[in-house]
Amino acid sequence: MHLDLSGKTALVTGSTQGIGEAIAAALARAGARTAVNGRKAEAVDAAVARLREDVPGANLVGVPADVSTEAGAAALAAELPEVDVLVNNVGIFGAKPALEISDDEWRRYFEVNVLAAVRLTRTYLPGMRERGWGRVQYIASDSAVAIPAEMIHYGVSKTALLGVSRGFAKEAAGSGVTVNCVIAGPTHTGGVEDFVYQLVDRSLPWDEAQREFMRLHRPQSLLGRLIEPEEIGNLVVYLASPQASATTGAAVRVDGGYVDSILP
């Protein structure tokens, strides 16, 4: 299957590192003009430079903006008025006992993890509908359906994205625009190796260490290893492609079978 996004403009929020950067790379490889976003211009510039090395000939644009604020989202829209593929990836997470999460923290998680995505969907979906083609995606998490006790504010914010995605899919019905959620499972990102080696023997080679970590601490995974960010990028590219024209309103899992359910 040849996935060609030539002539399309894609925006990936929070794409200066980790999963977001891998998604941006995958979209660029598929031929999309890809906008890299982050809060700080220096981080955006650095990510664009890495992507140019990783994807020779990539059509990239850096768009620094804090999309968790109305002003930041407006500034981004002014720089990038039309988008064909919107990937709402930006998010924050952190562990905290449930009874110690303050109102301000709950608000912050919803501003960044939920409302940023809502704002940008509200910004770009009308243009997609007018043009008769578009793709909106939300990067969620297994935590959306298996709420972690140590960070319920994060989990609940990702649960909200499932509802946001389904609702906007109905708003886009019959227009040629698809709206979907991607449920990512335990992923190999920055800092994860240190975390794994806190829990398993540091003398083990990385491949053995991550498999031991998954066996002991994430036994419900059917994959038996951490997911690579590129694997999430591959699914995003497929959902962004013309070949995925009949997939909308869905929560599509790339979680290695982590969620023990036959439904999302």
Coil, strand or helix: which one is 204? coil
Cα–Cα distance measured from residue 117 to residue 137, given in angstroms and rounded to the nearest whole number = 9
Residues 29/55, Cβ–Cβ less than 8 Å:
yes
Cα–Cα distance measured from residue 60 to residue 12, given in angstroms and rounded to the nearest whole number = 11
Select from 154, 243, 239 the least CA-distant residue to 253: 239
Q: Exposure string (b/e) for 197-224, b if CB count within 10 Å is 16 or more?
A: beebeeeeeeeebbbebbeeebeebebe
CA distances from 27 to 22, 58, 80, 205, 240 (A): 9, 9, 17, 31, 9
Among 109, 124, 138, 154, the one annotated catalytic: 154
Beta-sheet strands, E only, within the chain = 9-12, 33-38, 60-64, 85-88, 134-141, 177-184, 251-254
Task: Indicate if 154 belongs to the active site.
Answer: yes
Which residues are paired to 63 by β-bridges? 37
Active-site positions read 154
